[in-house]
Amino acid sequence: MSKAQEAARVLASEGYSTVIVGEADHPEVAGIKAYAGEDALVISDASELPARIPSRRVGVVVQTTQVEEVLNDVVCSLLPRTNELRVYNTICSATSLRQQAARELAAQVDVVVVVGGHNSGNTTRLAEICREVNPRTHHVETADEVRAEWFDCARVAGVTAGASTPDEQMQGVIQKIEGMDIG
């Protein structure tokens, strides 16, 4: 049982209405929900919270690849609407560090390429974070997806990857970029 699943089980057993912050169709979230009970609410951000919270005792569990800002927004939205709020921050610390490094990279380069599966929540979130800082961010799964026009008028390109992206996949993208005439 994962840390998030255990937290959901504890909340459900202690009578809390459980809010799961994550992607509803993600396998990890489905696993958490199985322990939280059928009445658990799955949201991707604070804007999806219902106008009426089903209980004044609310517990929050978060998908391990979510960003801290989303969790903070949900907690801030729930605080004035509950009598008791119990939060389990189950975001993976390595994920948080990777997200912060990607944010810093995006601020230092002209173009960002994020490498990893298009269906990977972790990689998609990295791309979203980079895009917030640098609109010239592109999410690719393979080197074949890299386009030369992305690098028009660019002097520096940055490459990052999702946690489960194989090194050879990332190296393939880097080699393709290095083979282009950037600038």
Gyration radius from the chain CA atoms: 19
Are 176 and 143 in contact by the 8 Å Cβ rule? The answer is yes
Catalytic-labelled residue, pool 14, 23, 28, 84: 28
Q: Say how far apart CA 80 and CA 18 lie, in whole Å.
A: 16
pTM score of the predicted model: 0.72
Helix (H) or strand (E) holding 21: strand 17-21
28 in catalytic set: yes
User: Model confidence over 92-139: pLDDT tens digits?
Assistant: 888 888 899 999 999 999 999 999 999 888 899 899 999 999 999 999
